[in-house]
Amino acid sequence: QVRLAEFGGGLVQTGGSLRLSCAASGRTFSDFPMGWFRQSPGKEREFVAASSWSGGSQYYADSVKGRFTISRDNNVNSVYLQMNALKPEDTAVYYCARRRSGTDFSREYEYDYWGQGTQVTVSS
């Protein structure tokens, strides 16, 4: 059984920064790529960023490229999302997820375990 728990959400002003953390249970964390998604009210959940199993490769949605950075520490079973230059449109619930397999990091169906999410609110 894999459990994911996100931390670090909150309220921040436009232009500010937040760092989200996702802690994973289970001994196979380092075997799997990990991703971050987000969902705003009234919108579908969307891909934000993903990391390969080693952390050597990262993938980003165009909307966050250059502002967000995904990283991971396999020694402590955690993945992070550093968010800089935040905008009101970044307001959403952010979820981390474990990627099972596939060919497209941005596809939800390629992820098998999800956290409960953490709220990020960016005020204008």
State the Cα–Cα distance between residues 80 and 30, nearest whole angstrom. 14
Quote the pLDDT of residue 65.
Answer: 98
Give per-residue pLDDT as tens, 71-119.
999 999 999 999 999 999 999 999 999 999 888 999 999 999 999 999 9
Q: Measure Cα distances from 122 to 2, 74, 110 in Å.
A: 30, 30, 29
**Phi-psi sector, 42: left (phi>0), alpha (psi -120 to 50), beta:** left
Quote the pLDDT of residue 101.
Answer: 82
